[in-house]
Structures are given as C-alpha cells and as structure tokens.
C-alpha cells in the first residue's frame, strides 16, 4: 500500500468513525493529505477540560515505517510537552511500529492529558510541581487552558 493510500485510509476512518465524544478531529492542511491539523478536546475531569488544543501532524515519505511528526501548536502546561509543542510519547519515537495508526496515537495523546507521566518529563519544573503540589499544578494547567485553548 502506498503512503498516500494509507494516509487517506486513516483520514477517512477518523472522519467517518470519530473518537468517542468527538474528542479528536482531523483535516488536511491546504488539501495536503500528508499534513494534517488535529483538534483535541481536553478530557473531562482534567485541568485541560473543555480546552481546544491544536496539533500539527506531518507524515514522512516513509510512513508507516517511520512515525508521523506530531506537535501541539496550542500552548499547554504539561510535563510531557515541551515549549515548542514536542510530545514525549514512546509510540512517536522508539516504540513506533507500522501497525500503529494516527488514531491510536491521538488516543494516546488524549490519555497523556488525563495521566501525565512526571517520571519521563520534557519539562522537569512542571513534573516536579505535579509530584509535590498537584493542586497548584492543576491550577496552572487550567489557567493555561483558559488562556490559550479556548
């Protein structure tokens, strides 16, 4: 299967069978099917609740043998997302397998919003606050969500 066929199949699947609660939507950027914009709705019960977070997704020419490049374009206060929007997620790095789909990665990113991993942070200061003062961490995360993700 060609890269374009695979990407088109994944796009169609996500559009026709969205994630639960329409928590993630995707669309090509300027009709470039190798470059998508995803919109994630912050999970209920988290400091990201009701926020709209945008992700930039670029598929490499050797997809699915290499993972897509995915980053947040919405500013987010999260220990596993750096200031440039880079995401610390094993499935986007050394644990990637061609069996993965973009749908699965989006589900993992949503899970990361619910369950941050402070033991493998990109932002040590946020991870430290998460571990030492969860209420203060959540307050900062909710403020960022209101400021940047509405």
Burial class (CB within 10 angstroms; exposed 0-12, middle 13-18, buried 19+) of 31:
exposed
Q: 38, 70, 88, 92: which is the annotated catalytic residue?
A: 88
Under a CB-based contact definition with an 8 Å cutoff, are residues 37 and 121 in contact?
Answer: no
Under a CB-based contact definition with an 8 Å cutoff, are residues 102 and 57 in contact?
Answer: yes
Catalytic (active site) residue 79: no
Rounded CA separation 85/145 (Å)? 14
Catalytic residues: 88
């Amino acid at each position: 299967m060609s890269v374009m066929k695979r990407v088109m199949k994944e796009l169609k699947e996500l559009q026709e069978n969205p994630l639960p609660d329409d928590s993630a939507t995707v669309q090509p950027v300027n009709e470039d099917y190798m470059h998508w914009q995803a919109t994630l709705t912050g999970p209920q019960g988290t400091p990201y609740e009701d926020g709209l977070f945008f992700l930039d997704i670029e598929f490499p020419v050797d997809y699915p043998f290499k993972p897509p490049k995915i980053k947040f374009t919405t500013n987010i206060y999260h220990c596993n997302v750096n200031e440039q929007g880079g995401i610390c997620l094993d499935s986007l790095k050394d644990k990637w397998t061609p069996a993965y789909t973009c749908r699965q990665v989006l589900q993992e990113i949503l899970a990361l919003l619910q369950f941050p991993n402070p033991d493998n942070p990109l932002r040590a200061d946020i991870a430290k606050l998460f571990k030492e003062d969860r209420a203060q961490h959540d307050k900062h995360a909710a403020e960022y969500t209101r400021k940047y993700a509405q």
